[in-house]
Homo-oligomer: A and B are copies of this chain.
Amino acid sequence: MTTASAEGARERLPRASVARLPAYLLALDGLWSEGTKLTSSHELAARSGVSPEQLRKDLSFLGSYGRRGVGYDVAQLRGHIGSVLGLEEPNRVVIVGVGHLGHALAAYGGFAERGFSIVGLVDDDPAVVGTTVAGLVVRPVAELADVVASGGATIGVIATPAAVAQQVADALAAAGVHGILTFAPQTLQTPDGVQVRAVDLASELQLLAFHGRHREHAKA
């Protein structure tokens, strides 16, 4: 797998296929940790929560085809998907807001295993600034640009109250990150080239509520 072909794959990939790659990678990680060297599209699809047809189609966009009667090479496919996603080297992340959520994110061991390194923590609360969380000293929000630059961060996580989320997004964009993950339930404006992904937990609960009600009515 060369970088050139990873780039080519990135250009060909439909957005919906991209969105499923992390699930495939996670399933492959699981197989690998169990010592599985070869897997079938059925097994990988089942572990990823998609149909085998969908999986084969998505992987064909990457130029990865299973060998008939043999299947997919777990290590090779893992490397390939990681390369397409851009995970060959750890992506450096700064977390803004070190309340309970920021603390949970800073301390979460799963990021390192999956391609991310938390390089900086920032907060505006004098009681929090200067404390050490998950091995990092929390820096004041006024030093955000320096934390991003000196840490080489490309991704910022907004774990602040919603009221200041846009302001933090502006500061992160100005500091040069290209991606922002926000937990604030509002649309953030960012310059072109700064991608935002929002995790809105109340929306997730609302979709569970919908399915719950639907189920009750279906049973009635």
Please measure, in the bound complex, the distance between the C-alpha atom of A181 and the C-alpha atom of B18, giving whole angstroms.
23
For the complex, what is the distance from the CA of A209 to the CA of B81, rounded to whole Å? 12
CB distance A209 to B108 under 8 Å? no
- Asked if B187 and A208 make an inter-chain contact with CB atoms under 8 angstroms apart, the answer reads no
Q: Which of A64-72, A121-129, A138-146, A195-203 contacts B (4 or more CB under 8 A)?
A: A195-203
Structural contact, A199 and B199, CB atoms closer than 8 A: yes
Binds B, one of A35-43, A54-62, A85-93: A85-93
Taking CB atoms, residues of chain B closer than 8 Å to A185 are: 26, 110, 114
How far is B209's CA from A93's CA once the two chains are assembled, in angstroms?
10
For the complex formed by this chain, how many copies does it contain in all? Answer: 2
A209 to chain B, nearest CB (A): 4
Taking CB atoms and an 8 Å cut-off, the chain A residues in 111-125 that contact chain B are: 111, 113-116
B212 contacts A86, C-beta separation under 8 Å: yes
A63 within 8 A of partner (CB) = no
The residues in A between 1 and 26 inclusive whose CB is less than 8 angstroms from any CB of B are: 7, 10-11, 18-19, 21-23, 25-26
Contact of A111 with B25 in the complex, beta carbons under 8 Å: no
Contact for A206 among B21, B27, B201, CB less than 8 A: B21
| Distance A46 CA – B140 CA, assembled complex (angstroms) | 34
Please state if A116 and B210 are interface contacts (CB–CB under 8 Å): no
CB distance A206 to B10 under 8 Å?
no
Which chain A residues have a beta carbon within 8 Å of chain B's beta carbons? 7, 10-11, 18-19, 21-23, 25-27, 30, 47-49, 84-87, 91, 93, 99-101, 103-105, 107-108, 110-111, 113-116, 154-155, 162, 178-181, 185-187, 193, 195, 197, 199-217
* Besides A85-B206, A87-B209, A193-B215, 14 other A-B contacts (C-beta < 8 A): A18-B210, A21-B210, A22-B203, A23-B203, A26-B203, A30-B186, A86-B213, A104-B104, A111-B201, A115-B202, A178-B208, A181-B208, A195-B208, A199-B201
